[in-house]
Structure formats: C-alpha cells, structure tokens
Structure 1
Amino acid sequence: MAAPLANLKILDFSTLLPGPYATMMLADMGAEVLRIEAPDRVDLAKVMPPFDGKFSTTFSYLGRGKQTLQLNLKQPESVEKVKQLVQDYDIVVEQFRPGVMDRLGIGYEVLKAINPKLIYCAITGYGQTGPYKDRAGHDINYLAISGVASHCGRADSGPPPMGIQIADVAGGSHHAVMGILAAVIKRQETGEGAFIDISMTDAAFALNAMAGAAALAGGQPQKPESGMLNGGTFYDYYQTRDGRWLSVGSLEPQFSSRLCDTLGLGELKSYALSQKPEHQQELKAAIKQKIAERSLAEWREVFADVDACVEPVLTIEEAAEHPQLKARGMVVERDRGDGQLQRQLGSVLS
C-alpha cells in the first residue's frame, strides 16, 4: 500500500513493546509518529541486548519511521509543549497505568478540551476499570489470567513460556491499531474523537477463539493435550533423527490420506478421522516413530511436492531465507537510527 495513513499524526508516549509495536505498524502505513521520550527514564527496550550499533535491535526495529522528542513530563514547560503539539496531532498513544497521564496534567479530558477531534488510545495490562486496573503484569501474566495458558503445552509439564509476546502484540498492539483505525473512520463521519481503552488481558481472553467458544457454551474444559489443536490428536510436532522438528497439520481427509501414504501408514488412514482418543494416540505414536527415522532435510525433500500440511520448524534465521517469506518481502533493510541500514522484520501491510 502507498502510505494510506500519510495524513495522520501520532504522539506516542509508550515504551517497551505493545504501544511501540502498534505505532510502528501505523508508521509503516505512512503515519507521522513523534515518540515522546523521557530524558530521565530509560526505556528498557532501548538497553535490552543484543545491540547493533548505538541501540538494541528491538529498539531500532520498533522505532523505525518515527521521530523522537525528549520531554520531562514532570516539568510544567514539557506539559505545555504537549498541549501545543496536540493541537496539530490526530492521535495519542500511551501505555502508563490508569491515572498517570491525568496526574501529569495531560490526560484525555484535558487534551480533548484542546483538540475535540483527538483519538486517545490507552494500552494497559488490565484496562482502565476493574479491580486489577492498577496491578502490574507482563505477557505471561495476561496469558495466565485470560485462560490461554491453561490449554497450551503438555499434560505432564504444563504451559510453556512462549518465545513471542502473544498478549502484548497479538493482543495489545493489534487491537490498538484496529481500535484507532475504527475511530479514524468514525471521526471522518461524525467529526468526533474517541477514547480507546485497550486491555491486553481482554485481548488475550478474546484470542481463545475456538476453545473459548466451546468452553463458554458449556463444552468440556480444555486442558493441554486434550483437544484437536493442542496435542490431543496427531496434529502436532514430531522430532526428526537429527533433533529437529516437523509440524504435521494434516487435519482434513485429503491431507491426512496423503500424510499416511507418504509415511507408509496407509492402514491407519481411518484413525486420522477418528474421534476416539486411543486411535489418535496410536496414529500419533506411529507418526512419531516414522519421523524419527530421517533427518529434517530428508523430510523436507520428501514432502516438498506433497500437499499435506507438513512443514519444517525453522529458526528465525532460516525463516528469513525461506523463499515464501523472501518473495513476500518480509525481510527489509531500514535505518537503525544512526544512518546505517539494518535487516529487520518487514511489515505485513506495507
């Protein structure tokens, strides 16, 4: 897309990951983002290793396409500067605990009085209301409270610490962007601004989707390795001879049939479609044994032309070189903040 948000100006008061990721997405789509940085309060994303050049790789990535202005928001002159800026800006994004911006004198009501068309997005762990609104938390806590962690992982070892920040990014960042863009559309129609209250816990709870729909409608509570998609069936990861992993997602009949034929397990095709746990476990054990007989490279060659929803588990470095991701432009070179180019994750929407 050719900078569809080029007419939007955003004041970004957020730090760490959820807010900066959201404003990075908006900047990738052309928005002008001014990041307000506290001179006396270090953003942990800025000093979190590894480093590449002056800044951490995380900070360089999240900061792309943005300008920075240092303001000590505890100083009256900085507060006045924000009030001046907001006259000319469309959107404010902040990630403080509820009430902090009000105490600084630049909360929603104050800024709205200056710019009635302002769209103000507050991203917090638990939202602006409720008994947990002032409680500290991190991604792992939001996944725990929202029920997501309860049906992930293995039955004998419990939920895994995830390698990505699900509640922060898939929850907070993406829902913030959706809320902001919805408010922009509404403002175009009505001329009115909006206050957007994003709770990462709310967003994580909504991510339960299929499992949540079943549970709330009176279905059986889902536990690790008990459902179709969380290890209770042959839909799973399998270790290869060289200690790597292969993903098998061959749920539909045409895919499971090809899987069984390719592995020499034709006699177990009916088990792939069975809802009996013992059939699924027998098929799963057979697949496990077969996959362990060859290396990942060998299995990649075997399944290269087999349309069966079977793919290798790649490292991030390997994924960056995968022909599909390369063809989609998902690795880009961008200024890392000091004039030097850095390879970064590309934007899904740009």
Structure 2
Amino acid sequence: MIDLCRSYPPAYASMFLADFGADVIKVDPPGFTSPIPVPGGPEAQAAWYSLDRNKKSLLLNMRDPEGLDIFYRLVESADVLLENSKPGTMERLKIGYDILAGINPRLIYCSVSGYGQDGPYALIPGHDSNYLSISGVLSMIGEKGGPPIAPGNLVADLAGSGMFSLSAILLALLARGKTGKGQFIDVSYTDTAFSLAGFETALYFLTGMEPRRGETLRTGSEPFCATYETKDGKWFNIACIEPKLWINLCRALDREDLISHQWTFDQEIKSKVFTELREIFKTKTRDEWWDWAKDKEIAAAPVLELNEAFEDPQIQHRKMLLELDHPALGKIKQAGFPIKMSETPASFSRFGPTPGQDSDAILIDLGFSSDQINKLREQGIV
C-alpha cells in the first residue's frame, strides 16, 4: 500500500491496515518532517506519532522526471494507494487515477477530501468542525440556548473519513477478488459526517421535527439519559433508555414513584424528575456511584478524564494502551488495537519511521543498486 497522506485522518485508515499486516509505504517529498511537533527530534516524533507505526518511509521528489519514474515503478506492484490532496492536485502531478490505473489496472486508488472530488465546495479548504457544520451535525451539539460546540475528538475526520476510507478499501479489495480490477474511491469528510447523522435524518423526515441543541435524547433532553454532577464536582452519566433499565435505576434508588415519568411530555413533571435526580446524584462521589451501579443492571458510567481512562481496569484488560520499549527513548505508550480478531490479530512490529528511514531498502527492492541510490540522493531525488 502506498500512503501519500499529509494529515492525520486518512493515515488512521492506513494505520489499521499496517496493524493487521499490510506493507504500507509512506511516500513524502525530501525535507518532509513530522506533522506533530514533539521535543526530541525526528526519532521522538516518529515514536510518539502512533498513526505511522508499522509503516515504512520513502522520501521521493516526484516533481523530478526520474523521481516520478521511480514512483511509477512502485505503483506497478501496489494494491492500494491512499491520498488526501486537494482535488486536482494528483492529476497535475501526473499521479492521478487514470494514469496510475494505466500502469496497474488492479490498483485501488482512494482519494479523501473535505467535500469530495466534485461539487461547488470541492476546492474549499476545511477541517473537522467545518465538515460537521455543513453536514448539520455541529448544530445538534451543545446545551439548549447555547452555541454549537465542536466535540473533543475528530468525528468527521476519524469516525467519518478515516473509518469509511478503511471500509471502502476493504470493499474494493473484495470486489477486485471477483473482477480482477481496481477502482477509484472518492471519500468526503462531509459526506461521511452526514451519513453518521443517519438516525437524526430519518427521525426528521418521519416527524418533521428539527433536532435542536439540548433538546434531543443524546444531548440530555431526558432525565433518564443525561449526565449529572456528583458530590465531588465530577460527573456521572446514565443512559437508561430501555424501560427495564429505567425501572432498575428507580428501584435501586428507592424511587419507584419516578418509574411512570420516564417518557413524560409534561415539562413540569420532567423538570421535577431532573431536579430530583440532580439532588440524588450529589449525595455520593462519582466513583461511589460507579461502585454502586455496577451490579444493578443499569446503563451508567463515570465520566473519566483521558488520563483516568488510561488507568481504567476495563481499558487495561482490553489492552487498549500499549506500553512499548523504544531502543533509544525507553517506554513509549500508544493507543492499542480496538479490533480483536481470533485468527489474524493486529500486532506491533515497529515504531513509526523517521522520514526516509526505509528509502534505501525500498529502492533496492525496486532493483536499484547502492551506487544508483547514492546518485539519486546526490541529485535530491530521494
């Protein structure tokens, strides 16, 4: 797989493929440095940037005709190419899909962009919050009467384009197994964010009701699905949506009088239930509530800070935090593998490469001699 990504989100997709054994080669121009500034120089940057783990790095000047020819040779044996340049850029560089498919008809070429390869917004730059804005998602996030609030993680970027790109590549590989042909994949951050709002879209067309901030189930409009402050100033979340779970909660709290008010449309009663629960949850600390809730058949959880999540026993049991030994930097921690497979599990084989770390080995595999590689380096091609 050839990875031409210059930003975080699509590299998330290629990281998963590398974790599960794909031979992923990052191709960057000479002089390229890590997008994440970390004290300690290139080696430290590469080690901490988990999205490049298990990948190789080739620095190649594709604006030079000889460098472009080397890239074409790399494409000849590639299964997948992933890129996230501005639409039209790859064609100008003579590495667009039509040209590369002529070299390798089996190539799966995945282009990721903010608004897609076509349409009135195709050439407008943007980031995660912009795509959430256009897709209607951002308008639903935040408190009632307050401004839209961007989520703390990259929803359109990672959950959207990163995972959708991965899915699309895998689907294209399945299709190629039947047809023998590769294909072009057009993934838009905005399209994927819009798709993630599929439930809200369906509900809107069913009821005609616009989902408003703070007035939807998942933004705390109902007492049975909300986040409450605890005695120690921390937060505890409940999501007792199913009647059985709500009944379990009310009985465990010795408040069976609240059971019949779960789905009330009477705003006065709803406000009263909110008030009752707010007072109740302030009688214990967050962790006391969590200890109390675990065996009650209640959908509930403590709201953990990120550093607390690292120490959580479930996160640790699932090995979602890797502690790795770096030969020069000592212990390095990275997020683990979220997909558990019985026969072909993910594995860690190497830290992210420093820029150009694997250039010689890759070129040797393409048939270049040491003298030829030295000459290419002198010319600034690699």
TM-score, scaled to structure 2:
0.83
**Shift in alpha-carbon separation, 1:337–1:66, aligned structure 2, 3 A:** farther
Aligned to 2:30: 39
Q: Which moved more, 1:149-158 or 1:83-92?
A: 149-158
1:55-99: CA deviations, max 9, x gaps? 348962111100011122322222111101000110000010101
**Shift in alpha-carbon separation, 1:43–1:96, aligned structure 2, 3 A:** farther
Q: Which runs of 5+ in 2 are unaligned?
A: 340-345, 347-382
* Residue pairs, 1:140-179, within 5 angstroms: 140-179=129-168
Tell me, yes or no, if the aligned pair for 1:330 and 1:347 is still in contact at 8 Å: yes
1:27-70: CA deviations, max 9, x gaps? 111111001122335452x32x5779833489621111000111
Tell me, yes or no, if the aligned pair for 1:64 and 1:337 is still in contact at 8 Å: no
Aligned to 1:128: 117
Q: Alignment RMSD, CA only?
A: 2.1
When Rg is computed on C-alpha atoms for both structures, the one with the higher figure is 2
Give the C-alpha shift of residue 198 in structure 1.
Answer: 0.3
Instruction: Kindly indicate whether structure 1 or structure 2 has the higher relative contact order, using CA contacts under 8 Å at least 6 residues apart.
Output: 2
Aligned to 1:263: 253
**Shift in alpha-carbon separation, 1:134–1:236, aligned structure 2, 3 A:** same
* Residue pairs, 1:273-312, within 5 angstroms: 273-312=263-302
> In structure 2, how many angstroms separate the alpha carbons of the residues matched to 1:42 and 1:74?
18
Tell me, yes or no, if the aligned pair for 1:224 and 1:231 is still in contact at 8 Å: no
Does the residue aligned with 2:218 lie in a helix, a strand or coil?
coil
Give the C-alpha shift of residue 338 in structure 1.
Answer: 6.1
1:267-305: CA deviations, max 9, x gaps? 111111324444333212211111122211221222132
Residue correspondences, number: 339
* Residue pairs, 1:1-350, within 5 angstroms: 10-44=1-35, 46-47=36-37, 49=38, 54-56=43-45, 60-234=49-223, 235-334=225-324, 340-349=330-339, 350=346
Does the residue aligned with 1:54 lie in a helix, a strand or coil?
helix
Q: Which amino acid aligns with 1:106?
A: I
Give the C-alpha shift of residue 339 in structure 1.
Answer: 7.3
Tell me, yes or no, if the aligned pair for 1:93 and 1:120 is still in contact at 8 Å: yes
Does the residue aligned with 1:185 lie in a helix, a strand or coil?
helix
**Shift in alpha-carbon separation, 1:115–1:298, aligned structure 2, 3 A:** same
Does the residue aligned with 2:68 lie in a helix, a strand or coil?
helix
Q: Which amino acid aligns with 2:286?
A: L
Give the C-alpha shift of residue 340 in structure 1.
Answer: 4.8
Of all paired residues, the percent bearing the same amino acid is: 34
Q: Which moved more, 1:119-128 or 1:145-154?
A: 145-154
TM-score, scaled to structure 1:
0.91
Give the C-alpha shift of residue 164 in structure 1.
Answer: 0.4
> In structure 2, how many angstroms separate the alpha carbons of the residues matched to 1:216 and 1:31?
42
Q: Which amino acid aligns with 1:31?
A: A
Q: Which runs of 5+ in 1 are unaligned?
A: 1-9
Q: Which moved more, 1:180-189 or 1:290-299?
A: 290-299
Q: Which moved more, 1:231-240 or 1:195-204?
A: 231-240
**Shift in alpha-carbon separation, 1:298–1:148, aligned structure 2, 3 A:** same
Q: Which amino acid aligns with 1:146?
A: S
1:236-289: CA deviations, max 9, x gaps? 111112111101101111211121223343211111132444433321221111
